[in-house]
Amino acid sequence: MLKRRDGGETDPHTGDRAGTKYSVSIYIIIFVVVVLVLIFTSYFVQQRKNSQAISDLTEQHDQFSIQALQNIEDLQNRNLALTEELEQKDAEIEALEENVKNVRANWAEAVKTLEDGYKTEYNELEAQKRALEQLLNAEIAYSSGDEDGMKLSLEEIDPANLDGAYAEHYEWLMKKAGLGE
């Protein structure tokens, strides 16, 4: 065996040092320990990232669920509001239909009242026309000296159908015929 400067011995057949096996084993053990530490560190870092990702996904899911529930609640509230508005509009339509019905009834009543008023006025005008015709016949009979014709015409006149100057003329003719005061 040969001696090294540092005092260690060298194997002449392999050229290795006797302490080299020991130091290589230490390097291998250190290397394996470092690799194991790196593997464990990587594993724990990955676990931490996965845990964080799961936590983020859970939080996003929870937020999405809360938002979905809020959207559903908002839609239900909107649906209730629209249902109430629809019921209100239906009530308004019923009220308007009732108003239309009342207006039609009032209109028919107003038309009937006007018609009755026009008929009454027409009848009054017809009676006044007959009274004036009889008054004219009485005047003609008076002018021609026919006292009996004048009295007959005057008796057919209803004085209530004459007004103003015609009523005065009727009274004058009645006096001339000897029928008035």
Q: Read off the pLDDT of residues 50-92 as tens digits, 9 standing for 90 and up.
A: 999 999 999 998 898 899 999 999 999 999 999 999 999 999 9
Question: What was the pLDDT predicted at 2?
Answer: 45
Q: Please list, in sequence order, all residues whose beta carbon lies within 8 angstroms of the beta carbon of residue 151, skipping any fewer than 6 positions away.
A: 177, 179
Alpha-carbon distances of 33 from 20, 27, 30, 143, 150, rounded to whole Å: 19, 10, 5, 158, 155
Q: With a cut of 60, say whether residue 13 has pLDDT above it.
A: no
Threshold 0.75, pTM exceeds:
no
pLDDT grade, residue 9 (50/70/90)? low
Average pLDDT over residues 170-180: 77
Cβ atoms 141, 157 nearer than 8 A? no
Q: What is the pLDDT of residue 78?
A: 94
Spatial CB neighbours of 150, under 8 Å, sequence gap ≥ 6 = 138, 141, 142, 173, 176, 177
- Whether the per-residue pLDDT at 179 is higher than 90: the answer is no
**Calpha distance 19→8 (Å, rounded):** 8
3 backbone dihedrals φ, ψ, rounded to 5°: -100, 140
Structurally, how many domains does the chain consist of?
Answer: 1
pLDDT at 116 over 70: yes
Name the band, by pLDDT with cuts 50, 70 and 90, for residue 173. confident
Statement: residue 95 has pLDDT above 90: yes
Top pLDDT among 16 and 107 is at 107
Q: How far is CA 169 from CA 69, 154, 163, in A?
A: 98, 11, 10
Q: What is the structure's pLDDT at 81?
A: 94
Domain assignment of residue 111, given as a range: 2-177
